Amino acid sequence: MTRFIFHMTNNAFPKGRKWNFCFDNLNYPAPVGIHFSYATLMQELGQETVLILREERQFMTGLRKHGPFVLNIKSGAVRTSAGPIVFMLWWFPPMIDDMPYALYELLISPSPPPTISDLLQNASRQTHLHLVMLDEEQEVFDVVEFENVYGLGNLLEASREIGATLTGYDFEAAKKAFNKEISLETLFRM
């Protein structure tokens, strides 16, 4: 496996001052669930890759009652009858019956760019990952900063290695097969 060495971009929010978020280039309407997007959260930090979570406000309020937001990931690649899928399961505690209180899947195509791998590459180079939480009305519920310890660079490398061997790959067919053949519960417990 080829290891890429790259410069990390410090995109931490400045300490001790109020944040002034600018969503001038955030894609609307955001789909329900979780996905990556480009946004400018602070002019002095410039454009970055952010993780968008769109969920019902009532649910996010309930999630907040469990304490400070803690964002976790389980990621990898699986084979389906229609080809491989690279997955990210983003989840929030607490654990209830060995499953997270909130679990969101994000599927990505291992086929060569341009794909979500461009967003993933940019996110892997950031020191922090910002989660923008939008409610059902597209209103900002919260913006939370997490140290970027999610191994996105390794996931990107694995995705590119898989993609280099693909011919005639149909991501939509692979997603359909994934949804029929693999349960999130099984994937989470792997």
pLDDT digits (tens, 9 = 90+) for 18-58: 666 666 556 667 788 999 988 888 887 888 999 999 999 99
**Predicted pLDDT of residue 20:** 64
Q: Which tokens hold the place of 17?
A: 């001052």
Domain range list for the chain: 33-189
**Predicted pLDDT of residue 2:** 46
> Could you give the CA distance from residue 148 to residue 165 in angstroms, rounded to a whole number?
29
Percent of the chain with pLDDT over 70: 88
Per the listing, tokens 């976790």 go with 72
pLDDT at 3 over 60: no
Helix, strand, or coil (residue 131): strand
**Predicted pLDDT of residue 5:** 47
Identity of residue 99: M
